[in-house]
Amino acid sequence: MKDTFYQYIEQLQDTITSKLEAIDGKAKFKEDLWKRPEGGGGRTRVIENGNVFDKGGVNISAVHGPLPKAMQSYFNVGDVDFFACGLSLVIHPINPFVPTVHANWRYFEMYDKDGTVIDQWFGGGQDLTPYYLFEEDATHFHQVCKTACDKHNSDFYPEYKKKCDEYFWNAHRNEARGVGGLFFDYCKKTDTMSIEDWFAFVSEVGNSFLEAYTPIVEKRKGLLYKQSHKDWQEIRRGRYVEFNLVHDKGTLFGLKTNGRIESILMSLPPNVQWRYDHHPETGSEEEKLLKVLKEPKKWANG
């Protein structure tokens, strides 16, 4: 399964970066191949200073070796080995009317000292972070997510939408990072789902990503904006940074397993503002966004 999934994310990385380059029309992804001393490595691709995209990364990695002590405690296991691979992406657009997007699809195995697999699971998801709320965009994104889920189990979308709302929650701000999407983890073999079934589901979601995001980019990338819109975008980007550095498990896992810092922190936007005690004007579009972020909302139909 680990070979099957790694081949899948290699192909998916190619598909996504090619499409995003075509939309941008100027910038190309810079590729960086790297090795991890303890075992494994990855293929980082970063795009910057484009016509459409300010900064973005679409990274794949496959790392393995002894599970670090900090993670042994987290997983409540002893001295075991691990293998982890996945694709992680974050795209920060220039136009403040185009939302930031994040996605991640991953696979994890643990082994005893004889090399026997003692645990394995999938995880992942995709979520949208707008700076200005176009409700039809949020609906479109969620509808694509729901369609992908429904092909496998009608319970998946409501369950993983709820988990996404709970996970991407900036507790210290008491607000969501964005309008959510899907979040799933520890997807293991059960009486009704084989590990191959989980692969089929995760790859379905991965394959839906471009359909979920790129129509929104195409629709909003040409809208005119002012400096005040950019200022708000950069203030909200600050909340994005706060979540990733304080709460995000993927970031913390990478930092605790001697991950490649440049790849882990590629999720951070290039320009950010933190203004003291900033509040948008009453009745403004900026305030409209904040009200939606205070309480999860139903977006998909059905």
- CATH number, domain with residue 288: 3.40.1500.10
Pair of tokens at residue 118: 């003692």
Query: Looking at the predicted structure, is the pLDDT value of residue 259 above 90?
Result: no
Residue of 291, 252, 250 whose CA lies nearest to 86: 250
pLDDT at 166: 97
Counting residues of the chain whose pLDDT is more than 90, the rounded percentage is 84
pLDDT at 266: 83
pTM: 0.95
Laid out side by side, the sheet with 40-48 consists of 30-35, 40-48, 53-66, 81-93, 100-111, 117-129, 180-187
pLDDT of residue 95: 98
pLDDT tens string 200-249:
999 999 999 999 999 999 999 999 999 999 999 999 999 999 999 999 88
Q: Give domain status of residue 299, yes or no.
A: no
Query: Domain range for residue 100?
Result: 2-293
- Active site (annotated) includes residue 152: no
Residue 252 pLDDT > 90: no
Mean pLDDT computed over every residue of the chain: 94
**Both structure tokens of 40:** 């494994």
Q: What is the pLDDT of residues 1-20, one digit of tens each?
A: 999 999 999 999 999 999 99
pLDDT band (50, 70, 90) for residue 169: very high
Instruction: Please check whether residue 189 lies inside any domain of the structure.
Output: yes
Res. 32: pLDDT tops 80: yes
Confidence of residue 156 (pLDDT cuts 50, 70, 90): very high
Flag whether 301 is in a domain. no
Q: Is residue 300 part of a domain?
A: no
Residue 97 pLDDT class (50, 70, 90 cuts): very high
Q: Which tokens in the block code for residue 190? A: 């059960």
User: Residue range 124-137: average pLDDT?
Assistant: 98
Residue 298 belongs to a domain: no
Domain assignment of residue 302, yes or no: no
Q: Is the pLDDT of residue 130 over 80?
A: yes
> Cα separation of 208 and 36, whole Å?
30
pLDDT, residue 77, reads 87
- Per the domain annotation, does 252 fall within a domain? yes
- Which amino acid is present at 181? G
Range 274-295 average pLDDT = 96
CB count in 10 Å sphere of residue 31: 11
pLDDT of residue 215: 98
pLDDT one-digit tens code per residue, 43-85: 999 999 999 999 999 999 999 998 887 778 778 888 899 999 9
Question: Looking at the domain assignment, is residue 81 inside a domain?
Answer: yes
Provide the pLDDT confidence category of residue 113 given band limits of 50, 70 and 90.
Answer: confident
Q: How far apart are CA 184 and CA 126, in angstroms?
A: 10
31, 76 Cβ separation under 8 angstroms: no
Q: Which of 102, 140, 142, 229 is catalytic?
A: 102
The total of structural domains in the chain comes to 1
